Amino acid sequence: MQTQFGEATTIYLCDDHITHLIGLDSILRNFFVAVNVQSSTSFAELRILCKEKKPDLIIIDLGLPDVSGLDAVKFILAEYPSIKVVILTASNDVDILNQAVKSGAHAVLKKSETIEKLQKVLNWIFNGKPNADAGNRNPLASNYVYIDPLIEKLLKNQQGQNLSKREYDVAVLVTKGFTSQQIADRLQCTLSTIKTYRERLFNKSGCQNSAEFIAWFLKRHSN
């Protein structure tokens, strides 16, 4: 079903991953009855599009090849304050995510977010009605901004990222590729205990799987 947010809505996408651009383009054309979607793979290309015609919405990745995505967002909002901006990111770096929330963007989403959630967020942005399912006033931001629940959890837990000794021991074994059962045997505890520790580690790091957690842990604890 198509959802009409307005007539002739112009949306620019900025992401250096072509497959992600193609997927977003398809999703947006299903949301809007009348929409003009243009894609760019760099900030330089996006600026050219904006000079040709100011869009209603920009959906932008933080990992751009020619400039920091955060700097790009700041420039856009300074140059074109009426444009709506949605940040999509795969980052788990709390410093970057904090800056993204404070950037003035209308929403900060994980790239793994569901289509249904993206639709709710776009509906909120264009209708201006914050609610429990969409925008919430966040103390980190100066305006109403939707924060992906996964990102919000990560930011809330950033003060609690210090690991206990046992959590650290489990984390080290996870990074070495040990299974939960192997870790339980090695640390002489039950499998359910290790599963509980793994859940705590994922909650503290904001990661959704072992691969993300390993990258997060190694970044913070590598010598």
pLDDT tens sequence across 184-203: 999 999 999 999 999 888 87
Residue 40 belongs to what H/E stretch?
strand 35-40
Separation of alpha carbons 113 and 198, rounded Å: 22
Question: What's the average model confidence in pLDDT over 77-91?
Answer: 92
Query: Where does the pLDDT of residue 180 fall: very low under 50, low under 70, confident under 90, or very high at 90 and above?
Result: very high
Separation of alpha carbons 118 and 12, rounded Å: 15
Q: Which residues pair with 145 in a beta bridge?
A: 136
CB contact at 8 A, 216 and 207: yes
pLDDT of residue 157: 66
Give the total number of structural domains in the chain: 2
Q: Which of 129, 156, 183 is the last residue of a domain?
A: 156
Separation of alpha carbons 217 and 27, rounded Å: 34
- Say if residue 42 is in the same domain as residue 143: yes
Query: Where does the pLDDT of residue 147 fall: very low under 50, low under 70, confident under 90, or very high at 90 and above?
Result: confident
Separation of alpha carbons 38 and 21, rounded Å: 9
pLDDT at 138 over 80: no
- Say if residue 116 is in the same domain as residue 181: no
Domain housing 172: 158-221
Question: What's the average model confidence in pLDDT over 29-57?
Answer: 91
- Say if residue 17 is in the same domain as residue 68: yes
**pLDDT tens sequence across 89-137:** 988 887 788 889 888 899 999 887 667 788 888 888 877 654 444 444 4
Using only the alpha carbons of the chain, give its radius of gyration.
20
Separation of alpha carbons 38 and 61, rounded Å: 15
pLDDT at 144 over 80: no
